[in-house]
């Protein structure tokens, strides 16, 4: 099982491959740790032109938590502070829980579903 910092590293790699520049991240040496958003901990915040992305690593416990839908709804509804663009939410999930995560996301409104991307964090 990868450590938490390795999971965040893999999520950051995915953001980089999509052209995002990391603004803050957990377990980083040189960047500050992101502040909680609405009381929810986030693992990374990145930017591409005027688009802002939030990265979260979901544990199996969080995926099975009924409060996950409200967390996803709140974070996907957010707009960036300055440009008022919608935020893209990247969810890092273990491969064995990808299908369950996608099923949970499918219960959200169509415009919110388009804001959420699932990233499989392999072992």
Q: Where are the domains of the chain?
A: 1-51+67-91+109-118
* pLDDT, tens only, 29-49: 888 999 988 888 999 999 998
pLDDT for 75: 87
* Rounded distance between C-alpha atoms, residue 119 and residue 94, angstroms: 9
* pLDDT, tens only, 83-100: 677 889 999 999 999 999
Global pTM value: 0.90
Dihedral pair phi/psi, residue 72, rounded to 5°: -65, -40
β pairing state of 44-48 and 21-25: antiparallel
User: Listing from the earlier edge strand, what are the strands of the sheet with 44-48?
Assistant: 21-25, 44-48, 51-57, 88-94, 116-121
* 108 secondary structure, DSSP code: S
């Amino acid at each position: 099982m990868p450590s938490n910092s390795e999971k965040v590293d893999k999520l950051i790699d995915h953001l980089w491959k999509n052209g995002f520049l990391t603004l803050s991240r957990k377990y980083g040496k040189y960047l500050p740790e992101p502040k909680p958003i609405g009381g929810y901990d986030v693992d990374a915040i990145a930017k591409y032109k005027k688009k802002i992305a939030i990265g979260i690593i979901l544990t199996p416990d969080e995926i099975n938590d009924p409060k996950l839908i409200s967390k996803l709804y709140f974070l996907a509804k957010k707009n960036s502070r300055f440009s008022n663009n919608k935020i893209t939410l990247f969810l890092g999930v273990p491969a064995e829980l990808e299908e369950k995560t996608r099923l949970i996301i499918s219960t959200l409104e169509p415009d919110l579903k388009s804001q959420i991307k699932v990233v499989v964090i392999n072992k």
